[in-house]
Amino acid sequence: MITSREAAYSAILRNDLLRLHEAIVYLGSVLSKVELPDSESRANTLSCSRELESVYKETLAMIPPASMQDAHQKYLEALQHLSRAALLVNQFADNSKAELLRWAVFKQAHVEFKSGGQAMDEAATMLNLLIRPVH
């Protein structure tokens, strides 16, 4: 049985994930294309980055229940990786950079996105185990 504080914290994270879902899916779709994002894509990616950063700052200010501290840290890690991925996609689109440097930035964006997804999965698993203990 979880406490009311744990339930409230879980509900906040669930709402955050619903809020971020579209941004994360969009970022993944941009990274799945191996082409230079157009100005609309860059604007949308920048919006995703701002949304991720906003949720990161809100989450950083939260004080999770002690039982959820590890999941909280993992969630913050995921948000950092995903936010960096969005910023890197915008750097990739900067035409002033040398071609080789731009592709290195794009590759790093993929690494950050993948790391963010893995950390998000780990945080979700940790929270699910706390919310629905295995018998």
How far, in Å, CA of 83 to CA of 76, rounded? Answer: 10
How far, in Å, CA of 17 to CA of 121, rounded? Answer: 12
Here the CATH number for the domain that contains residue 116 is 1.20.120
Instruction: Show the domain range for 20.
Output: 4-131
Tokens of 77: 């890690």
Domains in the chain, number: 1
Mind listing the pLDDT tens digit for each residue in 80-90? Answer: 999 999 888 87
Reported pTM: 0.83
Give the mean pLDDT of 6-24: 88
C-alpha atoms less than 13 angstroms from C-alpha of 72 in its C-beta half-sphere: 18
Q: Is residue 45's pLDDT more than 90?
A: no
Helix axes 39-61, 69-92, angle to 10 degrees: 160
